[in-house]
Structure 1
Amino acid sequence: MKSKDNKMSFIEVDADCDFSFQNLPYGVFSTANNPKHRIGVAIGKEILDLSVITSLFVGPVMSRHQDVFDQPTLNAFMALGYEAWKETRRTLQALLSVNNSTLRDDVSLRTRAFVHQSDATMHLPADIGDYTDFYSSRDHATNVGTMFRGKENALMPNWLRLPVGYHGRASSVVVSGTPIRRPRGQMRPDQTKPPVFGPSKQLDIELEMAFFVGGENHLGEPIPIHKAHEHIFGMVLMNDWSARDIQAWEYVPLGPFLGKNFGTTISPWVVPMEALLPFVEPNPIQDPEPLPYLQHQDAYTFNINLFVSLKGKDMASAVNICSSNFRYMYWTMKQQLAHHTVNGCNVRPGDLLASGTISGPVTVKGTDPGLVLDPAREPSSQLCNLEQIYQNWMEDFTHSLFL
């Protein structure tokens, strides 16, 4: 989210900076001289350490919960709910405003409260209790279905009726920059021979976004779709690493297991949903019409441009391989959360719900499937230039960058 007005804050924000006054994402960080994990907000090249300014949250809600900003994760803050999140954002924007002297003119407080991002180590923003991955891009589901079942049977009968998803492994969700070890498992590359064991030869990336659940619901009580936005705290980028050869052999009949659970990478900064509201767009037309519990008329689709670059061990610089946009999702986050809980399943603060691979329609110039597996990639895509290096799969010591 690029800066709109550098003069809105007394903190210098470059015009091309993602951490603008309008963004203010939350994260958890530490520094060499203070290894304690603490909550911060990014603006420009700085991090505002909320543990230093807890006493400045004096609104009707947060004045009673200042201690949540002295915690090592965002879970307690997430648990406070929708009104607390909105009040906190208003307070932060007021404190960072060019016209507010509280932080601007207090040299001692300002010195203690701000940390250069280059001096910080980022950590997982929350303790993730549960992780669910959806499959909500119609283009992606169609492309993969065509690959495995043919064009006439590309989408399974349930796909247009409900947000398809599966439960992933929360313990192996890691923050950006954490190395991923190539997984080992059973594969059956030759269908005429028994399976073999070894390292995956078909390691893939998946461009996704995910949202953190905030306020919880009680076991047995669904979250109605008109209230779902009050339980969606904010969004992160996500790479759903996938070992396709392991996955292909194991997934029948219960779905992904070792082909997915070895690692999932998320970005360290959580963009609050209120910061994304200027980018909201009308929801996609859904035909057939979903069942009533999945219907909502308010717009909850977002125009978020996404890019992936790769840098191999022998490459001088990263190369862009695909681009997409979150607006291409068929099922909205409100529908995902409403469906997830309609049977009474309880979700908790810090739970992570992911979009599935974000593919765009191949007729839209400049969009790509968002993963190496997808067969619908345009011949001119830059990945084709890397085919001899990667053989269409991720090699060791390759860096992937999601933007």
Structure 2
Amino acid sequence: MIKANDPKLKSWVEVPANSDFSIQNIPFGIFKTDSLGPRAATAIGDKVLDLSVLEVHGCFEGLSLPPETFNKPVLNDFMGLDKEVTRAVRNRISDLLEADNAELRDNSELVKQAFFEQSEVEMCMPVHVPNYTDFYSSEQHAYNVGCMFRDPENALMPNWKHLPVGYHGRASSIVVSGTPFHRPKGQTKADDAAMPSFNPCRLLDFELEMAFITCKENGLGNSISTKEAEDYIFGFVIFNDWSARDMQKWEYVPLGPFLAKNFASHVSPWIVTMDAMEPFRVSGPKQDPKVLPYLEYEGDYHFDLNLQVAIQPEAQEETVVANSNFRYMYWNCLQQLAHHTVNGCNMQIGDMYASGTISGPTPAEYGSMLELSWRGSKPVSMNGGGERKFIQDHDTVIMRGHAERNGVRIGFGEVKAKVLPAK
């Protein structure tokens, strides 16, 4: 067992019931305040713990950290350290927060400098993302979309169960939770129209996804095997991969998503490490037909992670529209990374890899409005009145995720974003 994951651990910092940020989590993020520039932190209960302050006070001595590791605006340099180093840092933070450890607890001046209320800080984009890949790895989602646009007999394309389908997306428009964005605009074409028209997207949709982030480079020409892949993965974030469905329908043949996907994607601000996810591993589905040898793997690398999506119209209460689970993936992160690099593609530190929309077997577990409203034919009622077929201007979409086992809960907080009218 990884030391920081011990379910018996308790913290001297108050952790409210059902908090995502137990002492067994120790996620990493970047925050700033009105008087402090961006720097690294972890979360515990309702608090943010400034890691740069701990570093200055010698709390990480002997852990082989370069100078000012945590006094930087992104986590890339820290993530790029050896996994044994980043694991030792997480264990050390856990020790400092443990109930019986007086080292930080009884240093009132250091506590005053290092702790902030989460509600009083601004969370920043945790990493610089050099490259972004979006996969299409939930069988139920792929089946649902195939049924809508083809037929149930041909819902999955012939390649789908042989390889993790994916495409390279736009990294520059990945932004942190809380960043508002404008409705995209572009070409669409109605089925009964002779010519396309230019207009704001009418069918704006969310996509409930998770994304992993790489922390190691393989070098051009080198593959990463499924046995090696875990060493390259630092952790996960919740990922909302917005889609302009009407624009996508018109543009995607023959080369796939473009303007329909590149206008914005939102991520949760806290990266939950691969180590913290370890207790929540579960077995994946039986893959039939048998995959090629380079996609075979050993162990459990799917995750029992509860996911939720809510829509909050302006000046109304939110309505939970979906409850899904990350375990509903056909292809896992090891297979995705092995396939991505089998041709020698070079991975970089901070690269982000989204899972594709996560949909479960029942309608309440579908991960997009396209599926929940079944192309707009089944409107979803809002608690405050009204209904939604797709996302409207001034709506805020909120995604949450947490795992719970043996009395231990770890989570990601929220990823939320408000849709502003098209410019």
**TM tier, smaller:** over 0.9
What is the 5 A alignment of 1:48-127? 48-54=49-55, 55-59=58-62, 62-127=63-128
Supply the AA of the counterpart residue of 1:298.
G
Change in Cα spacing, 1:339 to 1:42, as seen in structure 2 (3 Å) is same
Supply the AA of the counterpart residue of 1:85.
T
* Higher helix proportion: 1
SS at match of 1:226: coil
SS at match of 2:116: strand
Whether the aligned pair in 2 keeps the contact of 1:81 and 1:231 (CA below 8 Å) is no
Q: Provide the rounded CA distance (Å) in 2 between the counterparts of 1:127 and 1:89.
A: 21
Supply the AA of the counterpart residue of 1:9.
S
1:393 equivalent in alignment to 2:390: yes
SS at match of 1:141: helix
Please name the residue that 1:28 is paired with: 30
Q: CA deviation at 1:131?
A: 0.6
Please name the residue that 1:17 is paired with: 19
Q: Provide the rounded CA distance (Å) in 1 between the counterparts of 2:380 and 2:234.
A: 34
Supply the AA of the counterpart residue of 2:139.
R
Q: CA deviation at 1:392?
A: 0.5
Q: CA deviation at 1:390?
A: 4.9
Q: Provide the rounded CA distance (Å) in 1 between the counterparts of 2:336 and 2:261.
A: 20
Whether the aligned pair in 1 keeps the contact of 2:373 and 2:379 (CA below 8 Å) is no
**Structure 1 residue runs of 4+, over 3 Å off?**
3-7, 384-391
Please name the residue that 2:367 is paired with: 370
Q: CA deviation at 1:186?
A: 0.3
Supply the AA of the counterpart residue of 1:78.
M
SS at match of 2:350: coil
Q: Provide the rounded CA distance (Å) in 1 between the counterparts of 2:20 and 2:357.
A: 23
Q: Provide the rounded CA distance (Å) in 1 between the counterparts of 2:188 and 2:387.
A: 20
Q: CA deviation at 1:192?
A: 3.5
Please name the residue that 1:323 is paired with: 323
SS at match of 1:222: coil
Q: Provide the rounded CA distance (Å) in 1 between the counterparts of 2:382 and 2:226.
A: 44
Change in Cα spacing, 1:391 to 1:49, as seen in structure 2 (3 Å) is closer
Q: CA deviation at 1:266?
A: 0.5
Supply the AA of the counterpart residue of 1:221.
N
What is the 5 A alignment of 1:173-252? 173-252=174-253
Change in Cα spacing, 1:335 to 1:5, as seen in structure 2 (3 Å) is closer
Whether the aligned pair in 2 keeps the contact of 1:143 and 1:374 (CA below 8 Å) is yes
Q: How does the TM-score come out when normalised to structure 1? A: 0.93
Q: Provide the rounded CA distance (Å) in 2 between the counterparts of 1:136 and 1:254.
A: 19
Whether the aligned pair in 2 keeps the contact of 1:207 and 1:238 (CA below 8 Å) is yes
Q: CA deviation at 1:277?
A: 1.1
Structure 1 residue runs without a partner (length 5+): none
Indicate the structure whose relative CO is greater, using CA pairs within 8 Å and at least 6 residues apart: 2
Identity %: 48
Q: CA deviation at 1:215?
A: 1.2
Change in Cα spacing, 1:388 to 1:134, as seen in structure 2 (3 Å) is farther
Provide the alpha-carbon RMSD of the alignment: 2.1
Supply the AA of the counterpart residue of 1:14.
P
Once the two structures are superposed, residues 210-230 of structure 1 have per-residue CA deviations (whole angstroms, 9 ceiling, x without a partner) of 111111111111111101001
What is the 5 A alignment of 1:306-317? 306-315=307-316, 317=317
Once the two structures are superposed, residues 51-95 of structure 1 have per-residue CA deviations (whole angstroms, 9 ceiling, x without a partner) of 111121134xx3342532121110001111321221111111111
Q: Provide the rounded CA distance (Å) in 2 between the counterparts of 1:359 and 1:394.
A: 18
Q: Provide the rounded CA distance (Å) in 1 between the counterparts of 2:284 and 2:8.
A: 32
Once the two structures are superposed, residues 12-56 of structure 1 have per-residue CA deviations (whole angstroms, 9 ceiling, x without a partner) of 10121111101111110001122x100000001111101111121
Q: How does the TM-score come out when normalised to structure 2? A: 0.89
Supply the AA of the counterpart residue of 1:105.
D
Supply the AA of the counterpart residue of 1:97.
E
Change in Cα spacing, 1:388 to 1:258, as seen in structure 2 (3 Å) is farther
Q: Provide the rounded CA distance (Å) in 2 between the counterparts of 1:388 and 1:161.
A: 45
Change in Cα spacing, 1:382 to 1:390, as seen in structure 2 (3 Å) is closer
Supply the AA of the counterpart residue of 1:110.
V
More deviation in 219-228 or 382-391?
A: 382-391
SS at match of 1:63: coil
Q: Provide the rounded CA distance (Å) in 1 between the counterparts of 2:33 and 2:397.
A: 25
Whether the aligned pair in 2 keeps the contact of 1:144 and 1:375 (CA below 8 Å) is no
Q: Provide the rounded CA distance (Å) in 1 between the counterparts of 2:379 and 2:111.
A: 45
Q: Provide the rounded CA distance (Å) in 2 between the counterparts of 1:385 and 1:94.
A: 45
Whether the aligned pair in 1 keeps the contact of 2:177 and 2:268 (CA below 8 Å) is yes
Aligned length: 392
